[in-house]
Amino acid sequence: MAHPILEINNVSRNFKIGGMLLGTKIKAIDEVSLTLPGDKPQIMSIVGESGCGKTTLAKMILRLLEPSSGDIMIEGVPLSYYSKRKTRKEFFKKVQPIFQNPFTSFSMRKTVDTYLFETALNLDVAQTRKDARAVVADVLKSVGLEIDQVLGKYPNQFSGGELQRISISRALISRPRLIVADEPVAMIDASLRMNIVNLFKKLKDEYNVNFIYITHDLSTAYYVSDYIATMYRGNLIEFGNAKHILTQPAHPYTELLLDSIPKVGEKWEEDMTLPDLETKEYGLSGCKFAARCPYVKEVCRSTVPEMVPIHQEHSVLCLKHNDYQTGNPKPLDRSGLDSNNQLSV
């Protein structure tokens, strides 16, 4: 049986904000656990507002940050294995990044094709420049570009959308098992964003590659995802099959995110914007969403919620899905009320 492509086990990451003496310590990632199966290529979106921890989690998967505790595994191999110099190349063959701003991924002093050829040669995908040219031409074609459109040109000679497609082609050169895309459409014109998202769906099957798609845009996540992980203030608060989460959200925060998506024929109210980061919420003793939750009960302010399975492929970190007096969960609809029209906490 194939190992999961990605396993995150009780991972935390601590930061200190402010000075050495008076600074505040926060858990930017708070004991997050999730698994992306490896039986077939999947796209998992990690969603949430700015400051929720999704980019920090992505950086740990890419080994750009070390976890403060817990471990991350790729196909059953812990990331600590790849910390040695001789195993780093093996890691980059398996895992590749796509960053938010394509213009910061390429130096203005080098032609774009230089990066593509160097990647093919450095990762032993090709032994000669002639072989590398065939590889580069193939991956460029997969993202809708011809090699003659790219050869000898500098980054400023491309649009943002074109350069992001080149970034995607570069990530495909090693035929990786996992691509981590951190807000890959945030810097692209809205009219072109779906082109990039459609590419992920196409390449998933064409290259047998899994994607971690980091985004605050639920409209694109809704369209592209097999799995969705919702994060809030460092916690993974909902995880599972995308269809279940997006049609039957179990956490009030996921409801808020879905309700903030503009809908055709409905006026988009300006006051639907999500709240700014508040450091104090990271240190709350109970549920971090309690201060904003429409279903909050007193127990929510003092009890740390646990992840509860509500379906075979759907779990939620919310006390409303537990009966703490009897220990028996009660079925809830989207309103958060049980069959007796009571909040089940």
> Angle 112-122/160-172 helices, nearest 10 degrees?
10
The pair of structure tokens assigned to 102 is 């394509």
E strand spans, the chain: 6-17, 24-36, 43-47, 69-74, 77-78, 95-98, 178-182, 210-215, 227-232, 235-241, 307-311, 314-317
Q: What is the pLDDT of residue 58?
A: 95
pTM of the model as a whole: 0.85
Q: Would you place residue 336 in the very low, low, confident or very high pLDDT band (cuts 50, 70, 90)?
A: very low
Q: What is the pLDDT of residue 235?
A: 94
Residue type, 222: Y
Q: What is the pLDDT of residue 280?
A: 61
Summarised one tens digit per residue, pLDDT across range 148-205 is 999 999 999 999 899 999 999 999 999 999 999 999 988 777 777 888 888 999 999 9
> Angle 112-122/129-142 helices, nearest 10 degrees?
110
Domain 6-321 sits in CATH at 3.40.50.300
Are the CB atoms for 230 and 238 separated by under 8 Å? Answer: yes
Q: Calculate the CA dihedral of residues 51, 53, 59, 61 and round it to 10 degrees.
A: -160
Summarised one tens digit per residue, pLDDT across range 189-247 is 777 788 888 899 999 999 999 999 999 888 888 889 999 999 999 999 999 999 889 88
- The residues spanned by each domain of the chain are 6-321
133 CB-side CA count, 13 A: 6
